[in-house]
Structure 1
Amino acid sequence: MTGRHRSRRAVLAAVGAAAGSLSIAGCADTDSEWVAADPPTDAALEAVVTTADGAYAVGEDGIVLARDGGDWTVRLERGLGGAGDGLRSAAVTSNGRAMWVAGDSGALGYYDVVADRAVDFSAPKEKTTSWTAVAAAGLAGDERLTAINSSGELLRGRRDGATVDWSDVIKPGSGSSVTDIDLTPLAYGYVVDTDGGVFESRDGGVSWSRIGLEGAGVDFATVAATDSGRVSVAGGNGVVSTYNGVDWSRTTLGEQPIAALARDRDTALAVSSAGVLYERGFDGWAELADLRPGNELRSVALATARSPQLVVGESGTIFERRY
């Protein structure tokens, strides 16, 4: 391959000289390190997720990468319909069999990781505005979908096999731009906006109410929730705020904006745009690693049986936590 989709060994050699294989800082586990992977692209990677078939990353020009036995390969080079529309977000069904992606010019659809094929549902409701985030919950073939666009609009859908029933577009935020969304398997939904607003839905996205965050004074960039009733949000001031269903708590991780969060019931990861990784365990948050690759980092993923913890970002940057 040529252009962006090529080997990055020379690029990663330079990254490795500065970051290399990094031991864990601020963590009791010293038997792991973060290693720069060698994906076949230098396109910006906007999102990384884990599926039943392992990890996938999506990004610039519609690139879709899959991690196969430790190696990264290109599954889609030009997006869902071959138009090269950039992909900004990815979300996985509860059984991990379908990965929904969303991005520029109304790009929206899913990649069936079992059948190894893409299905294009772009421009639903004739919306061609860029989708900034997508969320999915439920089993593949019967999943609930929610997408938000750069105009602050939210679109709900329910898939029935080969078709999707789309509801009317609504605006759940405070009038500011909605930046991220997460759904839980129990039909709870959460969105954040650029005015410090956090909104909750308990009916799959039909209705929304504000649950915070008064006096936040920050542009929220990311939200991650669990079915245990906990939701974490973060953004421009380096603070992670967590809601337990009643009260909010705040932890300052650093001075740099937090670009991405991932969490489950037991653990959480956060990464600053500059490249500092943080992990939350039983004793709270601690700095995990200072990657500082020289490229902005955009997304993190927790480990599964088929994939390690992952971080992706600009210029095809991928880091993997190895033991």
Structure 2
Amino acid sequence: MTDDGEPGTWDAVTPGSDSNVNALDLHGPRSGHAVDGNKTVFVTDDGSTWKKVGIADANHNFYGVDSDATDDLTVVGGGGTAYHWNGSEWRREDTGDASLRDVERSGAHGLTVGGGGVVFRRDAGDWTQEATPTGSNLKAVVDAEGVEIAVGAERTVIER
């Protein structure tokens, strides 16, 4: 974000729960979502003001967010939980016991990664775990035009 609209300068912004901001994703130049370690999702449409978005009965901290539009948001976190917002309701999906750290999703398809080297794929249905060559905690994932890359602890980089 910029300070008073001046390109190239940093401005301090605090979403508001007094917890670490764990992830941020924008779907527009100044519009997007952030998640924190206090079970909170935040939304902004100007990059400066942040509003809390509630998820009822979210019993886990959030670590990853994929913000594709105001009505297309996926959040992942502890306990293997994934939540998807479709503009009118949150849908909870469980992948298992892994702590999920990042997510990439486009429509019904998605990837999420987490503790112990887990990768889950979603193809028009439920999340399904895939085998990986690592047991290291994975922290981030990207799906770039059919090339999928995950990175994590112990200098781990895996590609598919």
Partner residue in 1 for 2:39: 196
Shift of 1:243: 0.8
1:196 and 1:219 in contact (8 A); partners too: yes
Q: Structure 2 vs 1, CA of residues 245 and 239 (structure 1 numbering), >3 Å: closer, same or farther? A: same
SS at structure 2 position matched to 1:237? helix
Does 2:90 correspond to 1:245? no
- Between the two proteins, what is the percent identity of the paired residues? 28
Aligned equivalents of 1:198, 1:228: Cα separation in 2: 13
Q: Which residue, out of 173, 183, 199, partners 2:26?
A: 183
Runs (5+) with no aligned partner, structure 2:
none
Q: Which residue, out of 57, 74, 80, partners 1:215?
A: 57
TM normalised by structure 2 equals: 0.87
Please give the per-residue CA displacement for 1:41-67, whole angstroms capped at 9, x wherever unaligned.
xxxxxxxxxxxxxxxxxxxxxxxxxxx
1:226 and 1:265 in contact (8 A); partners too: no
TM normalised by structure 1 equals: 0.45
Partner residue in 1 for 2:8: 164
Please give the per-residue CA displacement for 1:214-245, whole angstroms capped at 9, x wherever unaligned.
33121111111103621111111111011112
Partner residue in 2 for 1:254: 96
Q: Structure 2 vs 1, CA of residues 276 and 166 (structure 1 numbering), >3 Å: closer, same or farther? A: closer
Aligned equivalents of 2:79, 2:16: Cα separation in 1: 20
Partner residue in 2 for 1:301: 142
Aligned equivalents of 1:255, 1:263: Cα separation in 2: 20
Letter in 1 for 2:10: W
Aligned equivalents of 1:228, 1:279: Cα separation in 2: 23
Partner residue in 2 for 1:232: 74
1:220 and 1:234 in contact (8 A); partners too: yes
Runs (5+) with no aligned partner, structure 1:
1-155
Letter in 2 for 1:267: H
1:173 and 1:193 in contact (8 A); partners too: no
Partner residue in 1 for 2:151: 312
Aligned equivalents of 2:66, 2:90: Cα separation in 1: 14
Shift of 1:292: 5.6
Aligned equivalents of 1:270, 1:218: Cα separation in 2: 16
Please give the per-residue CA displacement for 1:134-160, whole angstroms capped at 9, x wherever unaligned.
xxxxxxxxxxxxxxxxxxxxxx22797
Greater CA radius of gyration, 1 or 2? 1
Aligned equivalents of 1:291, 1:222: Cα separation in 2: 20
CA RMSD, aligned part only? Answer: 2.2
Q: Mapping of 1:1-323 within 5 angstroms?
A: 156-157=1-2, 164-167=8-11, 169-185=12-28, 187-203=30-46, 205-227=47-69, 229-265=71-107, 267-287=109-129, 289-291=130-132, 293-304=134-145, 308-321=147-160
Letter in 2 for 1:190: H
Letter in 2 for 1:317: T
Q: Structure 2 vs 1, CA of residues 266 and 215 (structure 1 numbering), >3 Å: closer, same or farther? A: closer
Aligned equivalents of 2:141, 2:10: Cα separation in 1: 29
